[in-house]
Amino acid sequence: MLCGPCQDEAPQLQALYQQHQAEGFIVITLLGENVYGQPPSQSDLQMWASSFGLQHPVLADPGWAAGDRFERDGYIPTISLLQPGAKVLLTDSGYATSQVPMALP
């Protein structure tokens, strides 16, 4: 929650979600810890979502257990573009909105 790049990307992901949600595009934000280094509470998740006006799911991922599946080299934020079936199409490769249709159901 203290990650500056994560904060910078949150509104961008919301805009991408709004642009493609009618086509079945889903954005999920995973938070691995709160500002105290503890697993995020429901209140933390709600605060993150409301701070950035997020309308997509914001979920707790204590210790980055799920995120580690897609994380590259231990860096956050990590953005992965998945196609149906959770096949990773792109991970932090300078994705562009033009690549989103590849991931639509």
In a domain? residue 27: yes
What is the per-residue pLDDT for 9?
Answer: 86
The answer to whether residue 82 sits within a structural domain is no
Which has the higher per-residue pLDDT, 70 or 4? Answer: 4
Asked if residue 91 is part of any domain, the answer here is: no
Give how many domains the chain has, as a whole number: 1
Q: Is pLDDT at 83 greater than 90 in this prediction? A: no
pLDDT band at 92 (very low <50, low <70, confident <90, very high): low
For residue 77, cis peptide bond before it (omega within 30 degrees of 0): yes
What confidence tens digit (pLDDT) does each residue in 21-79 have? 898 888 888 898 999 999 999 999 999 999 999 999 999 999 888 877 766 566 677 77
Structural domain contains residue 32: yes
Does any domain span residue 22? yes
Query: 96: alpha, beta or left, given left = phi > 0 and alpha = psi -120 to 50?
Result: beta
Quote the domain boundaries for residue 71.
4-77
Q: Is residue 95 part of a domain?
A: no
In a domain, 28, yes or no: yes
